[in-house]
Amino acid sequence: MRNAQEVARFVTGHEHERVIAIDGPAAAGKSTVARLLADRLGALLFDTGALYRAVALSALRSGVFPEDEQSLSQLARDAQISVRPPSVQDGRLYDVWLNGEDVTWAVRDPMVGAIVSRVAEHAAVRAALLPLQRKIASSGPVVMVGRDIGTVVVPDAGLKVYLDATAEERARRRFREAAERGSTQSFDAVLQETLQRDATDSGRHTAPLRPASDAVQIDSDGISVDRIVAEIEELARAGRDAAGRPLWPS
């Protein structure tokens, strides 16, 4: 249980009071937790990582190098990307569409994972993807997942969570998921990619990965997904609007 002071931090009264920001490093379990939480709260789930992955996929397909900021930002501006509720029951948490094509699984390809952080480092790419993210944030109750939601995209989100776990634990989870989908990547390769992505995401100049000063930090090592979802749900339900009504009535 949180004490009254902590809960008071979520008494809000502004445009994004019904946005829940979940940030954290690669494979911390953000998307799984966010899917369950969004379903319980009747909110939309918007995983912003899918946007960066879609741009990285587009770059791979059109032969644009991860260093080529100008071409990448052009790709990001031209791409029609949408992230929406799952249309197929094949284990996906949401659909990702790129220029009229379902790329939900294509964006999870290890080749995309290998370059996505280098694509996401560029300020111009991030700027190109910002309007869509802000539009979603303003469109209604939403659980938004990413690296910089609480710090840059929606700094006035009603609730901010930073979900973390050790690199080994995160790599183990990612390795299991990938193996279930038939991937032949070794555990070491998955761990190296996780560490590499952490370093690039935390070390970049624009919108580096870090917890917002008012984020609730949750370490998910050894804690079940259900417990994490329950904890965040409890925090969300404690939130009140300016008139004192619950932001997320049960």
Under the rule (CB under 6 A), what is the footprint of ligand CDP?
26-27, 31, 48-49, 52-53, 116-117, 120, 146-148, 197, 201
| Closest distance of CB 237 from ligand CDP, Å | 25
Toward ligand CDP, which CB reaches closer, 16 or 53?
53
| Closest distance of CB 131 from ligand CDP, Å | 14
Toward ligand CDP, which CB reaches closer, 175 or 238?
175
Task: Say which residues have a Cβ less than 8 Å from residue 235's Cβ, sequence separation at least 6.
Answer: 2, 7, 10, 159, 161, 216
| Closest distance of CB 1 from ligand CDP, Å | 29
Toward ligand CDP, which CB reaches closer, 154 or 229?
154
Toward ligand CDP, which CB reaches closer, 116 or 218?
116
State the residue number with the nearest CB to ligand CDP. Answer: 49
| Closest distance of CB 170 from ligand CDP, Å | 8
| Closest distance of CB 104 from ligand CDP, Å | 12
Toward ligand CDP, which CB reaches closer, 17 or 148?
148
For residue 216, what are the β-bridge partners?
Answer: 161
Toward ligand CDP, which CB reaches closer, 12 or 117?
117
Backbone angles phi, psi at 92, to 5 degrees: -75, 150
Q: Measured between alpha carbons, how far is 10 from 219 in angstroms, rounded to an integer?
A: 20
* Among 110, 125, 124, 123, residue whose Cα is nearest residue 60: 110
| Closest distance of CB 203 from ligand CDP, Å | 11
**Letter string b/e over residues 106-144, b meaning 16 or more CB atoms within 10 A of that residue's CB:** bbbeeebbbbbbbbbbbeebbebbbebbeebbeeebbbb
| Closest distance of CB 120 from ligand CDP, Å | 3
Toward ligand CDP, which CB reaches closer, 108 or 240?
108
